[in-house]
Structure 1
Amino acid sequence: MMFSRQTCGSFALTTVCFFFLFLTAKRLGEWSLNSPYSRVVPSFRYPHGQAGANSTAWDGSAVGAPHLRPYDPVCDSFPNTSNILVVVKTGATESYTKIPMQLMTNLRCVSDFLIFSDLRQNIAGYEIRDSLDNVLAETKHDNPDFNLYQRQQACPIDQESCGLDDHLRSEGWDLDKYKNIHIAEKTYQLRPNYEWYLFIDADSYVVMPSLVQWLRKLDSSKELYFGSVSLIDGLRFAHGGSGYLLSQAAMHKFVGSHPGIANQYDTRIRESCCGDHMLAIAINETIGLKVKQTWPTINGEKPHTIPFRSQQWCQPIVTMHHMDPEEMSSF
């Protein structure tokens, strides 16, 4: 059978095309296996004790789904935070404004974190836990501090709109003070095996490299409570907005060894001004531990209000407060 020159040329061209398609498909398969988006994430990017997505090393002592995130090349040079749990406190009326920026900055590369509010929510697939669901019923009953809490459960629109009134903003402050001890207790129930627990507000910024370097020099097996010290009625306490640190030993002795400790202070908080102040009272009364001053390393200033005098020279900065989304993004 005779083929024309044109037919032979078409056949040859088709064969060559199939050959190149085969090679391309083969190379694409190899590239996908070596793609940065399918690479094994370093173990320190996973929650404490979990060596990888398919690992069985995680002992399961943490309760609730950890945050397993896709590979992010930005995090390649990020310090190892696998021994530190970051705990963020927010409120339902501000969470959708502040938490997304936290997820894009402070929390982007940390190994694990928890977010607590006064309403259970979900933001971009991340769980926001209700810190107040276990407050004693008698504390909530006929207590104006919980008017906002009850109203948020029935809010038919977005929470920010429900809380635009100035009166409601003050109610947010009244409700906030009940969170701190419950957050500490819930945190240890959910993640009991971290060496360090850093508690911050939704508008706090953390300089993670400085934090990691600092904590390397400290012993988490000792009972330690660090923060920027404030004073109310003669009691020193760590200012919550600046952030405060509790070691594994302190958390274990305070909440791990005293189940239900938060409920023991529910009724007393009503007469207190602030949750961070009441937390210091509870820690001191329960285990006799007092806060150690670590200002200006932990501090409540913004970048343009941080004092810069001779006594602050060579002092590392770990936290800043009242950071708006634009300032956080710039850092």
Structure 2
Amino acid sequence: MPSSWSSSSRRLMLNKRFSRMAIAGLCTVVFLILVFWGAIHGSYGVSQYYSFSTTSSFRPVSVDPEGKTTQDLCATFPKHLLQTIQPVLKMGHADTKERLDAQFDSVSACFGKGELLVISDLDESVHDHQAIDVLADLPAIYYHDNPDFVNYMWQKEMRANGTLDVDLEATARIQGWRMDKFKFLPMIERAWKMKPNKDFYFFFETDTYVFWDNAFRFLQTFDPDAPLYMGSPSPGTHDVKQDIKTWFANGGPGFVLSRGAMRALLVRKTTPYGQYVEPPATEKWLPMLRDDCCGDSVTGWALWNVSVPLRGYWPLFNPHPLHSIPFSDKYWCQPVMTLHKSSPKDMVDVWRWEFAQRQLGVS
């Protein structure tokens, strides 16, 4: 065999062997990328659709609302589920009467005293429910070097001297929305303190419409002891250490925390002798609250820092009002659980309409 041919053959064989090794290596890299991509994004090996069916707990499941009173309709509401699911309504003294009337004549109509927690920035009676001022017990550091909190101090002072809602010009200068961001973490702490160890805590606002039948069905498919934080995702704080963009649940469409998530957020480190060595969440995150516009954003970041990232169940938690939902299969081919910025008329109309539309089981 000619030596030149033998040398050429050896080079050819080496090139082929190298090519096979390169292809095998490339395939391995691609496979690993797909595996890690799926692990990070939660799509690897997970069906796009739920494989289980759910059942309505309303009895009767559907009823013609024509001629029925609110009391008649609420007789069908599954009150027993409130033993495990805690509704928490966040409002403010500045909320309009029209908005409050609509909320308590629809979404919150079937909750009796003690079943619904109403969180506010002023102690007052609202539709036979006692609104709790969760800002009243905040530590003294909230009152110092905190410009937005001044609005709360003005409101309390006017309440004390009898001018709140009497001196309309002065009352109008109180910017209630600037107080709102301070309610989120105290609201979560108060909900756990007053109604501990519930499976899930459902937080919503006065212009949030909640389809309770869908919400109850949805939550029954989750383990409450898993650390779950669910809502409509909004871009949050960038995690510099991990170089990751985080997300938080927009408070308007409502959000849910499981028992596991509540424990993770509220637990405090202690010494071997049981003494706390870190402040509660409301105090721990005040420095960030001073500079951030929104309490839901800070809440999301606080949860992220205890390893509870948002599970963005969008569009179930829908950031749009009824008549502004975009027309596409992204929105209309999944069940809706909440709506945001709902008009008072829509809230009452949809609530009554809903009673005739429920079905026993949907796969």
Asked if Structure 1 and Structure 2 have the same fold, meaning a TM-score greater than 0.5 normalized by the shorter chain, the answer is: yes
After superposition, the CA RMSD in angstroms is 2.4
In the TM superposition, structure 1's runs of 4+ consecutive aligned residues that sit over 6 Å from their partners are none
- For residue 8 of structure 2, what is the aligned residue in structure 1? none
Is structure 2 residue 291 aligned with structure 1 residue 271? yes
- For residue 139 of structure 2, what is the aligned residue in structure 1? 136
Return the alpha-carbon distance in structure 1 between the equivalents of residues 292 and 184 of structure 2.
Answer: 12
Is structure 2 residue 331 aligned with structure 1 residue 312? yes
- For residue 146 of structure 1, what is the aligned residue in structure 2? 149
Task: Letter of the 1:206 partner, please give it.
Answer: V
- 8 A Cα contact 2:315 2:330, kept in partner: no
Return the alpha-carbon distance in structure 1 between the equivalents of residues 167 and 214 of structure 2.
Answer: 34
Out of 125, 145, 158, the residue aligned to residue 128 of structure 2 is 125
- 8 A Cα contact 1:94 1:160, kept in partner: no
Out of 245, 257, 276, the residue aligned to residue 246 of structure 1 is 257
Point out the more displaced range, 211-220 or 255-264: 255-264
- For residue 300 of structure 2, what is the aligned residue in structure 1? 280
- 8 A Cα contact 2:232 2:318, kept in partner: yes
- 8 A Cα contact 1:132 1:182, kept in partner: yes
Report the CA distance between 1:213 and its aligned residue.
1.2
Return the alpha-carbon distance in structure 1 between the equivalents of residues 128 and 267 of structure 2.
Answer: 29
Is structure 2 residue 92 aligned with structure 1 residue 85? no
Return the alpha-carbon distance in structure 2 between the equivalents of residues 191 and 126 of structure 1.
Answer: 16
1:250-289 deviations in whole A, cap 9, x for unaligned? 112222557722111123210112100000111111x211
Return the alpha-carbon distance in structure 1 between the equivalents of residues 268 and 212 of structure 2.
Answer: 30
What is the count of residue pairs matched by the alignment?
A: 259
- 8 A Cα contact 2:228 2:260, kept in partner: yes
Report the CA distance between 1:103 and its aligned residue.
1.9
What is the correspondence of 1:141-290 to structure 2 with a 5 Å cutoff?
141-155=144-158, 156-158=163-165, 161=168, 165=172, 168=174, 171-233=175-237, 234-255=245-266, 260-285=280-305, 287-290=306-309
What is the DSSP-based 3-state SS (H/G/I as helix, E as strand, rest coil) of the residue aligned with 1:200? strand
Return the alpha-carbon distance in structure 2 between the equivalents of residues 268 and 309 of structure 1.
Answer: 38
Structure 1 length as normaliser, TM-score? Answer: 0.72
Alignment CA distance shift 1:160-1:183 (3 Å): farther
Task: Letter of the 1:203 partner, please give it.
Answer: D
Return the alpha-carbon distance in structure 1 between the equivalents of residues 189 and 200 of structure 2.
Answer: 14
Point out the more displaced range, 181-190 or 261-270: 261-270
1:57-101 deviations in whole A, cap 9, x for unaligned? xxxxxxxxxxxxxx9332232235322111111111116443332
What percent of counterpart residues are identical? 29
- 8 A Cα contact 1:93 1:163, kept in partner: no
What is the DSSP-based 3-state SS (H/G/I as helix, E as strand, rest coil) of the residue aligned with 1:289? coil
Structure 2 length as normaliser, TM-score? Answer: 0.66
1:158-189 deviations in whole A, cap 9, x for unaligned? 28936764x54xx3222211111111011100
Runs of 5+ consecutive residues of structure 1 not aligned to the other structure: 1-43, 46-70
Point out the more displaced range, 156-165 or 111-120: 156-165
What is the DSSP-based 3-state SS (H/G/I as helix, E as strand, rest coil) of the residue aligned with 1:153? helix
Alignment CA distance shift 1:73-1:264 (3 Å): same
Alignment CA distance shift 1:191-1:127 (3 Å): same
- 8 A Cα contact 2:102 2:348, kept in partner: yes
- 8 A Cα contact 1:100 1:123, kept in partner: no
1:107-156 deviations in whole A, cap 9, x for unaligned? 12247211111111112331101121122212212432122211111321
Alignment CA distance shift 1:138-1:144 (3 Å): same
Runs of 5+ consecutive residues of structure 2 not aligned to the other structure: 1-56, 59-69, 238-244, 270-278, 351-363
Task: Letter of the 1:107 partner, please give it.
Answer: S
Return the alpha-carbon distance in structure 2 between the equivalents of residues 292 and 177 of structure 1.
Answer: 21
- For residue 296 of structure 1, what is the aligned residue in structure 2? 315
